[in-house]
Amino acid sequence: MQAEGCECWEPSDSLAVMGLFEVLAHLPRLLRLRRQVRERMLAARPDVFVGVDAPEFNLNLAPALHAAGL
């Protein structure tokens, strides 16, 4: 997607956590990242949101963006 001109705010591998203890260890960072992405999206008001991979991240983000008219 970057090759086609999409701006990457965070590498997707930063979301790659597995297992209960690894998820719990990274949970504050992941929640902070989701909040930051939501705030940037609301400020930038893009034409479209394409949530690729990481459904546990994007499926929670999508309703907030939809409610804001994105």
The pTM is what?
Answer: 0.73
In the block, tokens 């499926």 appear at 59
- The domain limits of the chain are 10-67
Phi, psi at 46, each rounded to 5°: -70, 165
Question: Could you tell me how far CA 2 lies from the centroid of its own chain?
Answer: 16
Predicted local confidence at residue 32, as pLDDT: 92
38-46 long-range Cβ contacts below 8 angstroms, 24+ apart? 38/64, 38/65, 40/9, 41/65, 41/70, 42/68, 42/70, 45/70, 46/70
Collapsing DSSP to helix, strand or coil, 24 comes out as helix
Mean pLDDT, the chain cut into blocks of 10 residues (70 residues total): 78 80 90 90 87 79 86
